[in-house]
Each structure stands twice: as structure tokens, then as C-alpha cells.
Homo-oligomer: A and B are copies of this chain.
Amino acid sequence: MIQSDPHPFAFELLATDGRARRGRIRTPHGFVDTPAFMPVGTRATVKGLTAAQLRDTGAQIILANTYHLLLRPGPDEVQRLGGLQTLTNWRGPMLTDSGGFQVFSLNDLRKVDDDGATFQSHIDGAIIRLTPESAMQIQQQLGADIIMAFDECPPLPAEGAVVERAVRRSIDWARRCREAHRIPHQALYGIVQGGLDVGLRRRCLAALTEIGFEGYALGGLSVGEPPPQMWAFLDEFAHEMPVDRPRYLMGVGTPRDLVEAVNAGIDQFDCVLPTRNGRKGYAFTSQGVIRLKNAVHRGDAGPLDPACDCETCRGYSRGYLRHLFIVEEALGPTLVSIHNLAFYQRLMREMRAAIAEQRFAAWRQSFLQGPLAQARKEEE
């Protein structure tokens, strides 16, 4: 049943199977079936795809990055152009991160203190200050349906004291975000930090649930640690997150990561992997990862994936896609990104169906025996 929140954001848990959950998020711009994968539109564009192509992949919600949009075109201009949904012509549910992750991972010219972070724009050298309050203000101007608290995300491995300080700051900043939050129809998610230290994560989660958020995210994972460590952590921790709120694992991941995280009880994901790998000519298929530049695909009239019904697989051969990559034509990255996103959405649909039909454990076992269980985050 949709919760009777005063604002239209709501999360409905439709079914559980073990710890895996099948649910639905309501937003002002439409519904999102969970577990959900969110394609990443870094600079308000999922690279190389029109909004119509993105919809055809089966995506229901997309993400945009506050850090990048803050630099260009700037929140004032996004607001003047009608907000992210109008700007991108996506029109469906959207989520923005807080900018924190990029400040800590991309910007070498940052200075962090207890009040926030200061960094220099690599575009024009401007000095920019990001605080919990400004992160809320900027995300309010961008206008996504789901916005994220401003947090500190240290790369792993990190020393205990560094992780502890990040947790302390993230809790303090989350409280300030909650207080600065002004738009009732924008759902605000808190972000749990704490590295792989379950005790620290529990303390962080307890503090955040006391403040109260519309959803809870796990930050600071898939940032350098071996995947099995993340899977083990998720198994131990994800199910402790509030049952009645969406659980969002940020920046993850490979198909195997998604399956293990759903198995542990996660509802939402975002990752650049399907589009970044697509631009390099790496395709996720039911038969494993395909590297289109390999000579074996020369003259191959078959589709990328015979099990796929996406626009790319319906219309274009491996041999043609390989040609596009060899001659460096823009259509190659677009077509393989379309396929990879459709592949990810099909994976999520399969998991949602398996959970709803109480056969997720068997589905997962079958996946683990298949070729995709070995796909890595980095292809070379």
C-alpha cells in the first residue's frame, strides 16, 4: 500500500524473498519499480543517448551529478531552463547526488573542514564552497525527485581515524541537510558511511534513522575494495537498514554486484559501467562480455546478444558495430550503450520477477553459474 505521506514520494514493498525485496517508489514524475538500476547522466545527458532512446532501454529513473552541473551550466541556468526533467527531456523520475563524492574523488584542489568543502573549478579556476546547506540549495534548483545528503566519502582502504571522522561529519552534515531541506516533494536520502566497519556503519545508520530520511543510501563502497569484501559486508549489513524505506547502494556496479546486493536487500543502484564500457566497445551479453574490437567479430552478421530485443540487437550486426568502433564513428558508442543499458534493465526485470515469484535463490544460483558472473568492473 502506498504510504500516506504528505508529499507524493512513497515506497511500497510489494514482495520479499529471503532478504531480496520487490518494491515500487512513487515520485512526482512517476513510478520506479525496485530493485531499480539508474543510468548515469553525468552532465544532464546519458552520454550519446536521446531521452527517447533511454526510455526504450526500459530505464525508469536516471541520475545526474550535482558536482558537474554546478560547474556547467550551473544551477541557476538549469532552473531557468525548467529544471532537470525539462532540460533533459527525460520527464520521468530523476535523482541527483550531493556533489560530495566527486569533490572527494575528482578534485585534487579541495580543502575539507567540519563545515564543508572548498575546491577549485577545473573549468575556470573559480573557488567553490560546498556545504550541506548549499548542496541542498543547489539540488533544489536542479529539481530532481530524489536528492542526496552531502557526505564525506573517503576512498578505501582508509585509516580508521579517517573513516571515523568521515562518519562523524556525514552525520552532522546529514542533520544540517535535513534542516536545510525546503521542498516537500523532493525526497531526501541520508547516506550511511563507515567503510567496511560494520560497527561504524551501524552507528551511522542509527544516527541517520533518528534524524529521519525518505530513503537510506550506502556510500563509500565499490571505491577500491575487492568485490567479495563488499558482498560480505552487504550480506551482514543491508538488511539492517529500515524496511519501509528504499535502500540505495551508490555507484554499483557489475552484474554480479547487483545480484549480490539485491540478494542482501538493496533496492536502488546507479553506475556508469554499462555506458562507460559501451563507449569502449565492451558489451554485456547473455553469453558473457564481448569486446567488439576483437578480430573474431569481423564479418559476424549475428546480433550482439541473440537473447536481447533492444534497438541495437534488433537492427545491427556485430560486424557492423565492430566496423563503427574501428573507424571511430559516434554511432558505435551510442548503439552499444543502448544495448548495455537494456541489458542492465533486463537483469533488473528478471530479478524483480524472480523475487515476486519467490524463486530468487534459484535464479541467483543460475546467474552465478552463467558467464556474466565473472564480468569485472574494469575491462582492458
Contacts from A to B (Cβ < 8 Å): 43-45, 47-53, 72-73, 77, 80-82, 86-89, 298-299, 301, 311, 315-317, 319-320, 323-324, 326-327, 329-331, 333-335
Q: How many copies does the complex hold?
A: 2
Q: Are B319 and A50 neighbours in the complex by a CB distance under 8 Å?
A: no
**A73, B321: Cα distance in complex, Å:** 11
Q: Are A298 and B77 neighbours in the complex by a CB distance under 8 Å?
A: yes
Q: How far is the CB of A305 from chain B (nearest CB, A)?
A: 16
Q: Are B80 and A329 neighbours in the complex by a CB distance under 8 Å?
A: no
Q: Are A81 and B48 neighbours in the complex by a CB distance under 8 Å?
A: no
With both beta carbons as reference points, the residue of chain B lying nearest to A320 in the complex is identified as B87
Q: Are B44 and A89 neighbours in the complex by a CB distance under 8 Å?
A: no
- Which residue of the partner chain, among B80, B88, B329, B335, contacts A299 with CB atoms under 8 Å? B80
Known contacts A320-B87, A323-B73; decide if A331 and B81 are in contact (CB<8 Å): no
Q: How far is the CB of A295 from chain B (nearest CB, A)?
A: 12
Q: Which 7 A-B pairs have the closest CB atoms?
A: A89-B315, A48-B330, A73-B323, A80-B299, A81-B319, A45-B331, A45-B329
- Which residue of the partner chain, among B48, B80, B311, B323, contacts A334 with CB atoms under 8 Å? B48
Contacts of A82 in B (CB 8 A): 301, 317
Q: Are B323 and A50 neighbours in the complex by a CB distance under 8 Å?
A: no
Name, among A47, A49, A87, the residue most crowded by chain B CB atoms within 10 Å (CB to CB).
A87
With both beta carbons as reference points, the residue of chain B lying nearest to A49 in the complex is identified as B331
Q: How far is the CB of A316 from chain B (nearest CB, A)?
A: 6
Q: Are A335 and B50 neighbours in the complex by a CB distance under 8 Å?
A: yes
Contacts of A320 in B (CB 8 A): 44, 81, 87-89
**A156, B85: Cα distance in complex, Å:** 51
**A319, B82: Cα distance in complex, Å:** 11
With both beta carbons as reference points, the residue of chain B lying nearest to A324 in the complex is identified as B45
**A320, B82: Cα distance in complex, Å:** 10
Q: Are B323 and A44 neighbours in the complex by a CB distance under 8 Å?
A: yes
Q: Are A43 and B77 neighbours in the complex by a CB distance under 8 Å?
A: no
Known contacts A45-B324, A48-B330, A81-B299; decide if A319 and B89 are in contact (CB<8 Å): no
Q: Are B324 and A52 neighbours in the complex by a CB distance under 8 Å?
A: no
Contacts of A89 in B (CB 8 A): 315-316, 320
Name, among A53, A81, A316, the residue most crowded by chain B CB atoms within 10 Å (CB to CB).
A81
Q: Are B51 and A329 neighbours in the complex by a CB distance under 8 Å?
A: no
Name, among A317, A327, A334, the residue most crowded by chain B CB atoms within 10 Å (CB to CB).
A327
Q: Are A327 and B81 neighbours in the complex by a CB distance under 8 Å?
A: no
Name, among A45, A72, A87, A301, the residue most crowded by chain B CB atoms within 10 Å (CB to CB).
A45
Known contacts A80-B301, A301-B80; decide if A334 and B330 are in contact (CB<8 Å): yes
Q: Are A331 and B47 neighbours in the complex by a CB distance under 8 Å?
A: yes
- Which residue of the partner chain, among B50, B80, B299, B317, contacts A331 with CB atoms under 8 Å? B50
Q: How far is the CB of A274 from chain B (nearest CB, A)?
A: 16
Contacts of A88 in B (CB 8 A): 320
Contacts of A319 in B (CB 8 A): 73, 77, 80-81, 87
